[in-house]
Amino acid sequence: MEVYREVSVSKFRRVITGAIILISLCGCAATGELFKPGEGLPGLSSLYIYRENSWTGSAFAWDIKLDGEKVAELRRGGYFYSAIPAGRHTISALVSRGLALGLTTEPDRSYYVAVRSESIFLGVVIIHKFRIEPVPESLALYELQDMRLQKTLKTE
3-state secondary structure (DSSP) of residue 26: helix
- In this prediction, residue 7 carries a pLDDT of 47
Confidence of residue 66 (pLDDT cuts 50, 70, 90): very high
Average pLDDT over residues 61-80: 90
Distance CA 66, CA 133 (A): 14
Cα separations (Å) of 130 from 1, 50, 98, 100?
53, 13, 10, 11
Distance CA 132, CA 134 (A): 7
- In this prediction, residue 62 carries a pLDDT of 84
Residue 32, Cα to own-chain centre: how many angstroms?
A: 15
Distance CA 63, CA 70 (A): 7
- In this prediction, residue 156 carries a pLDDT of 42
Average pLDDT over residues 46-61: 75
Confidence of residue 41 (pLDDT cuts 50, 70, 90): confident
Give me the chain's average pLDDT, please: 79
Q: What is the pLDDT of residues 17-37, one digit of tens each?
A: 665 555 554 445 556 667 777
Given strand 44-51, what is the order of strands in its sheet?
A: 125-134, 110-122, 44-51, 78-85, 148-149
Nearest to 110 by CA among 48, 42, 36: 48
- Comparing 85 with 62, the larger pLDDT belongs to 85
